[in-house]
Structure 1
Amino acid sequence: MNLKKLILPALSFAMALFVSGLLVAFSDSNVLALKGQPLEMISKAFATAGAAYWALFRGSIFDPQLAQDSFIQGFYPFSETLVAASPLILTGLSVALAFRAGLFNIGAQGQFIAGAIGASWVGFTFDLPVGIHVVAAIAAAMLFSGLYGGFVGLLKARTGAHEVIVTIMLNYVAGYFLLWLLSTTAFLRPGRQDPLAPEVGPNARLPLLFGSDLRANFGFIVALIAAAAIWWLLNRSTWGFRFRAVGANAAASRTAGISVARVTTSVMFIAGALAGLGGAVQILGSEPAMTAGVGGSFGFDAITVALLGRATPIGTVFAALLFGALRAGGLTMQASTETPLDLVLVIQALVVLFIAAPALIKSLFRLKNVDAGETVASKGWNG
């Protein structure tokens, strides 16, 4: 990704913050009470929006109040940002990789759950040595979710079933299968009636990055390694060339001798494995006991992350960090300024809106020679 490709995402984010700031300011009754005094009203509006964004920063990057006791503790919000961003990077890579091959993977949510099931089962069932246990849990998660995603690719390759419809349906299958699984004796924690699995063993936990006081764990490093691997796959390998060729023009690729069916199945297997790795990071890192809500909205947020990241590994990492920061800082913003937590969702939606409409940003800022890149809306996918 060159610097020119960063201009539009940066401007889109700035416009989203500006519009969201207006919403924050003019939804405040104290600001509206000054409507007869325009200068005071504008000043109060800036102060209100500024306070909300300062709280967002304190909740996602660095909190000076926490740093009074320990400087490292002041970075607790940043640690929470990394915790939230790690599974988002992996699920975002899942969607981005499929998109580069001309596929639209809406099933990252179900694949995430499949990976979480695999990691949790290995994590609490077996008692393996340190290192081996966590690797085994990750391998099981990637295998379960890879097969779950690869099944979609196989259906599309053999029968022409549309991956969007199939993956949406498999999201429901995974969610309800998890609910049933947590009611069985194999997964329900002994002595509990609510859907809660046993915690994974200590040897299966991902090591912490910054000590026991901060929750950031090795899952973030795993996500960065995965992003580097996908970058290499797409840009430096023969298989990556085939993926991109099929994504650009499946008919021409077939004429050139590339097996579109094999590419489709392989891409969906790898995409599923990436999403499942996100589920493993969640279980082995920050949420060691699997619940019915383990998937959260990671799989669906991944679509937005991949879109914001222009379906590139590097862009996906930065987009996931942004969304992780919004997720981590939203609670502090709500508690400190009484700004509704829904505003974070508004910011995310506005970012996507401006990203999906590059012509609007280019016209607003009078940009001429800026690469708008590819978006889901402009490129589409193979039907």
Structure 2
Amino acid sequence: MELSTPAGLESLAHAVAEQLGADRTDKDGGTGRVRVAYADGRALELTPNRPRTRISVTAVLPEQATAHGIEVKAITVTALPRPRPSESQAKATARHTADHIRQRLLPAHTAALAELRERTAPQVATFQRAESALAGFLDRPRGGVAISEQPVRRPLGLNARCAVAWWHTLDGPSRTVAPFMADALRRAGLATTEPHGSAYVFFAEPPAEQSDTRFRIAPAAEGAGWSLVDEFTGACVRTYDDQEWAQGITESANGEEDAARRAAVTSMDLPGLSADLIEEEQWRALAVELATAGHMPYGLTDVDYTQTPGFHIYPSAEPGTAKVARLLEPWGAIRPGARFEAPELEVERYDQDMEAYAQLLTSPGRTVAVRLDGIQVTFSDPPTRP
């Protein structure tokens, strides 16, 4: 069996994958390894040993396994087994390798993944912390908080049990409330993941020791591509077609996580809120009121604001006062726009939204006034700025 070239190892990996019922094979960058991937997310890596007459096969485990002391020892098989009658050397090597993987590696791999699922499953205390953190999201006629443990297919592992929270309405989970639920969970000391375009918020206890590589890429659990995975919660943030692009996004995500940790802030940004209002509880509560009523916060990367208007709360010069603007791209996207600047077709929608904002925000302890550029809200007891 010729293993002196990458093509030889790829050919062997492909033949082994067919015999094992795996989904596909992938080259692992410039490492010289070839990965055999199953549709359920499991993966094996084949590496030739010098002088390339033996093959090492490693079961790939999530990085969380190391923290829990879980490992699977690699196996080594000969690349030159004796062929059976009328069998080529290449077929003999593939058969021999697949047999050893079935007998010596797959049972240990499955057991390790099962043990990891048990150790990383959400605990009762975690759910209790989440319920307490979200207690301020009072149920409303149009929705309420839901918390559940759900099986999730994720890369490099079988189904995992993950803790998930969402704002449930008659129409299903609501995207509008997800960022504020995630912020509240983080303020309770939990790690969160908001998958791109999803209304669900995954949460978990953060590790005792912070990692410099919270996010990583892995072969997609379903279909082709590369998934950006949050090691803290086990959730997939987004899947990309191009591995190099996915790697760049991963490095950026880890950089942002490091910056947030060094800045000691819960949320570097929060849709619907100006950056200098994020740490003020009264303004966050105002944003939550709008979101739980079904209004979309401005600033979500997965929402088309040419079709859906978003609210944005920004500070006013007067103490205890802020403006609530309604933004629709391209008009009003750069700055909050006044009503008379609105395109003719948007004037009616603008007026309807302003009226809805005003009715919702009118409450004891604050004054609401409709202005040309939005709603001015003044608290009787102004928030204390940090």
More strand by share: 2
Is the pair's TM-score, using the shorter chain for normalization, greater than 0.5? no
Quick check: which has more Rg, 1 or 2?
2
User: Relative CO higher for 1 or 2, CA cutoff 8 Å, sep ≥ 6?
Assistant: 1
- Taking structure 1 as the reference length, the TM-score comes to 0.23
More helix by share: 1
